[in-house]
Each structure stands twice: as C-alpha cells, then as structure tokens.
Structure 1
Amino acid sequence: MLDYTDRLILGELRKNSRITMKELGEKVHLTGQAAAARVAKLEDNGIIEEYTIRVNGPKLGLSIHAFIEIRMESADHQPYIAFVHTQKQYVLNNYKISGEGCYLLECKFPSNEMLTQFLDSLNRYANYKLSIVITKS
C-alpha cells in the first residue's frame, strides 16, 4: 500500500519524470538517496511501469486530435487489430472498452484529408463514431 510520501513522489514524477533524485528528495522531504530507494521500490512493485514524454502534436504538424469509438459487427477483431498496428503514425492509444463500443481509438492527424483517408480505410474493418477534440482543459 502506498503511503503519503509515495503519493507525493508519484505526483512529482508525473509533473517531471526527469527530475533528479536530489531534487525529488527535496520536494518530498527526503534525502536524494532515500527518494531513489523509494522510486526503485515503486518500480520493483510495478507501481511505476514506464517513463514517458508528452509531445506537442500541433508543433509536429499533428493538429487534429480525434477519439474514435469502434463498433465491431464481427466477433473476429483480428483484422481490425492488424489494421490499427499498421497505423502507428496516427494511433496514440487503442483501448478495449465496455459499453456500446468495443474499442476507443485516440489518434492525431496532420490534416482533415489524412483523417478522411484513415476513416475510409477503417470503415473496411469496423463502424465508428468520431469525436474531434476542440480544446484541452
């Protein structure tokens, strides 16, 4: 079970996973060595699975952020899964979900034309419902 200090550590790492252990320790009132030991324990216990970066999509030319709810008519999802794996340049996440849909795709596209091409190809494998992100708050 996580204690208060572990939760503080996770909060600081969410803000900046590149923080030094010395800086992390100062923020959570531990020595750098004690903070490093806590982080190692969180990693060993599978609490921290990986460290990632957040990329600015528009600066990379990926200005269209879309969520696509996938509805499968067939029980065989493998062709859809194979298609999604070929679209890594656009697909950020493919979540298996409960509810009306079967999957929820999170994607980023450089243009409406590329989004349209993607949706035309996707329609060979599944029906979908599209939502475009207007702003992130």
Structure 2
Amino acid sequence: MLDHTDMRILEELSKNSRITMKELGEKVHLTGQAAATRVAKLEDNGVIEGYTIKMNQEKLGCLIHAMINIYTKSPHHDSYLSFIKAQKSFILNNYKISGDGCYLLECKFPSYEVLNQFLEDLNQQANYKLTIIISK
C-alpha cells in the first residue's frame, strides 16, 4: 500500500525523473538515502516500471498532430498491427478501444504530404476517421 510520501515521490519523479535523490528527499522531507530506499522499493514492487523521456515533436519537425479512429476490415487484426509496427516513426500511441472503432491512433506528421501517404497506405489495412488536433 502506498502512503502519502510514496505518492509525493511518484509525483516528483513524474515531473523530473532525473532529479537527484538528495533533491527528491528535500522535496518530500526525507534524507537522500531514505528517498533512494523508497524509490528502490517502488521499483522492486513494480510501481515504477521504468523511466523515459518526453520528446518535443514540434522541435523534431512533426507539426501535424492527428487522432485516427481505426475500423478494421476483418476480425483478424494481424495485417493492421504489422502495418502499425512498420510506421513507428509517426505513431505516438496505438490504443485498442471499445465503442466507436477498434483502435485509436495518436500520430504526429511532418507534413500533409506524409500524412496523406500514411492514410493511403493505412486504407489498404483498415478504414479510418481522421481528426486533426488544433491546440492542446
């Protein structure tokens, strides 16, 4: 069971996972060693599964943010999933969903030409409905 201090540690690590244990300890009112011990316990218990980076897609040249509802053409999704694996550079997330559609893709594209080619290739695997994100 997580206590208040564990939750604060998770909150601070989600803001900055590169924080030193000394700084983390100061923020949650522990020593650096005590904070490190708590983090290790959270890792060992599987609460913390890993650390990652968040990339700025716009600075990487991907200015078009799109959500794409996927409607597969058959009950077998293997060809669609293979296509998605080959398109990793554009796909941020591929969610299997219930309701309207089978999957929901979150994608970033550098241009409308690249988006159009992606959609043409996608249409060989599944039908789709495209939504362009204007702002966050």
Q: Same fold (TM over 0.5)?
A: yes
Normalised TM-score (structure 2): 0.97
Question: For residue 61 of structure 1, what is the amino acid of its counterpart?
Answer: G
Q: For structure 1, which runs of at least 5 residues remain unmatched after alignment? A: none
Question: Per-residue deviation at 1:134?
Answer: 1.1
d(CA) in 1 for partners of 2:99, 2:50: 29
Q: Do residues 10 (structure 1) and 10 (structure 2) align?
A: yes
Q: How many residues align?
A: 136
Q: Do residues 20 (structure 1) and 5 (structure 2) align?
A: no
Alpha-carbon RMSD across the aligned residues, in angstroms, is 0.8
Runs of 4+ in 1 over 2 A off after TM superposition: none
**Secondary structure of the corresponding residue to residue 66 of structure 2:** strand
Partner of 1:107: 107
Partner of 1:78: 78
**Secondary structure of the corresponding residue to residue 67 of structure 2:** strand
d(CA) in 1 for partners of 2:84, 2:115: 14
d(CA) in 2 for partners of 1:33, 1:42: 14
Question: Per-residue deviation at 1:73?
Answer: 2.6
Normalised TM-score (structure 1): 0.96
Partner of 1:40: 40
**Secondary structure of the corresponding residue to residue 89 of structure 2:** coil
Q: Matched residues, percent identical? A: 69
d(CA) in 2 for partners of 1:66, 1:49: 28
d(CA) in 2 for partners of 1:112, 1:71: 22
Question: Per-residue deviation at 1:44?
Answer: 1.1
Question: For residue 124 of structure 1, what is the amino acid of its counterpart?
Answer: Q
